[in-house]
């Protein structure tokens, strides 16, 4: 027999008219390589890496247009906000650091040893709070308000009275009373013709410092129940009123006539009397009590 006809079974060695399908994954033409000669079947899609990815001009145009539109919307929103509220002025009230926050909290809780209550100015503009402990800020009030809401939810949960609606009602009630207080003080200064250097955001800051005393009272109620709550709330309101008397006196009474000073003094006393009433109103339903009394 011709030895050429006794080849072992395997890959054909000569040219073939058809692709050998007896070796899966290894088509004719080399190990693992697809046949690319004349008459090769069309696969429909080019192999990966055969052609570079062509950018879609419509997608690029849409991306560019969307970026430009977003930039225009951001600029328009910034202009609308600046029309009613100056963002730069709001940033002033949040220009604080850790040292200021610690010293301001100590001043709110222990104000009796403080002597210099005047706000510092730099070229007719008040310096940022981080450089002046007497300057009003909105960082402590905003954090205190958030803490008050979270603590309210915790105390409601202890009594199995928590619900999203109840917590939302507590938060909205605090914001409503704060808004009414600020509007009332602002209208009183206008109606009574009291010349004051206080701005609207100053009133928001001073009216919101009460939340620090409210948080301390609620925390005390968790340990000493109602007695601790009342004692800490009374002390917190006393220190807050002392702080407000010293701070607002320079803004409401300075630069006014004798008649204006008297009206400003009445308004200042009304503000100080309002703080304990609102603090008690917003915390009394939340104060922790012994299980037998609930």
The answer to whether position 96 is within a domain reads no
**pLDDT: which is higher, 243 or 71:** 243
With 70 as the cut, is the pLDDT of residue 176 above it?
Answer: yes
Report the pLDDT value the prediction gives residue 264, as an integer from 0 to 100.
87
For the ranges 26-30, 80-84, 191-195, 210-214, which has the lowest average pLDDT?
26-30
38 belongs to a structural domain? no
pLDDT at 263: 87
From CA 32, how far away is CA 25, in angstroms rounded? 6
Judge whether 125 lies within some domain: no
Q: How confident is the model at residue 148 (pLDDT cuts 50, 70, 90)?
A: very high
Domain presence at residue 180: yes
Give the tens place of pLDDT for each residue, 240-266: 999 999 999 888 876 556 666 788 899
Structural domain boundaries, residue 287? 137-293
Tell me the mean pLDDT in the region 143-148.
96
Res. 104: pLDDT tops 80: yes
Q: Total domain count for the chain?
A: 1
- Residue closest to 92 by CA, chosen among 139, 54, 52, 55: 139
Residue 55 lies in a domain: no
pLDDT at residue 47 is higher than 70: no
- For residues 270 and 262, what is the distance between their CA atoms, to the nearest angstrom? 12
Flag whether pLDDT at 112 surpasses 90.
yes
pLDDT tops 80 at residue 210: yes
Site of tokens 């004719």: 28
Q: Is the pLDDT of residue 153 over 70?
A: yes
What percentage of the chain carries pLDDT values higher than 70?
67
Exposed, middle or buried, 105 (CB in 10 Å: 0-12/13-18/19+)?
middle
Specify if 101 maps to a domain. no
Output b/e per residue, 168-206; b: 16+ Cβ within 10 A: eebbeebeebbeebbebbbebbeeeebebebeebbbbbb
Instruction: Please report the pLDDT score of residue 261 as a whole number.
Output: 78
Question: Which residues have C-beta within 8 Å of that of residue 233, sequence separation ≥ 6?
Answer: 213, 214, 216, 217, 220, 276, 279, 280, 283
Name the pLDDT band for 80 (thresholds 50, 70, 90): low
Q: How confident is the model at residue 51 (pLDDT cuts 50, 70, 90)?
A: very low
Within-domain flag for 95 = no
Residue bearing the bigger pLDDT, 29 or 89: 89
| Whether pLDDT at 22 is above 50 | no
Between CA 129 and CA 107 the distance in angstroms is 14
Instruction: Provide the CB-side half-sphere exposure for 217 (13 A, CA).
Output: 28
Residue 148 belongs to a domain: yes
pLDDT of residue 73: 60
**Separation of alpha carbons 217 and 224, rounded Å:** 10
How confident is the model at residue 72, as a pLDDT? 67
Buried b (16+ CB within 10 A) or exposed e, 21-51: eeeeeebbeeeeeeeeeeeeeeeeeeeeeee
């Amino acid at each position: 027999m011709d030895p050429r006809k006794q080849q072992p079974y395997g890959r054909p060695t000569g040219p073939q008219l058809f692709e050998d399908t007896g070796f899966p994954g290894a088509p004719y033409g080399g190990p693992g390589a697809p046949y690319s000669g004349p008459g090769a079947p069309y696969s429909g899609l080019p192999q990966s890496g055969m052609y570079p990815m062509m950018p879609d001009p419509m997608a690029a145009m849409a991306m560019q247009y969307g970026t430009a539109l977003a930039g225009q919307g951001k600029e328009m929103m910034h202009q609308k906000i600046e029309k009613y509220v100056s963002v730069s002025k709001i940033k002033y009230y949040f220009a604080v650091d850790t040292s200021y926050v610690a010293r301001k909290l100590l001043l709110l809780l222990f104000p009796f040893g403080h002597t210099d209550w005047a706000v510092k100015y730099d070229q007719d503009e008040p310096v940022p709070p981080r450089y002046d402990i007497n300057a009003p800020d909105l960082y402590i009030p905003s954090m205190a308000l958030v803490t008050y809401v979270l603590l309210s939810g915790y105390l409601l949960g202890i009594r199995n009275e928590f619900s999203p609606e109840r917590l939302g009602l507590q938060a909205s009630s605090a914001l409503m009373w704060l808004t009414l207080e600020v509007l009332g003080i602002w209208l009183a200064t206008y109606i009574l013709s009291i010349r004051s250097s206080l701005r609207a955001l100053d009133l928001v800051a001073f009216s919101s410092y009460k939340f620090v005393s409210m948080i301390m009272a609620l925390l005390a109620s968790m340990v000493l129940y109602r007695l601790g709550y009342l004692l800490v709330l009374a002390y917190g309101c006393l220190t807050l009123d002392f702080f407000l008397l010293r701070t607002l006196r320079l803004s409401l009474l300075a630069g006014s006539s004798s008649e204006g000073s008297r009206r400003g003094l009445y308004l200042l006393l009304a503000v100080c009397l309002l703080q304990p009433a609102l603090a008690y109103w917003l915390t009394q339903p939340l104060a922790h009590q012994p299980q037998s009394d609930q």
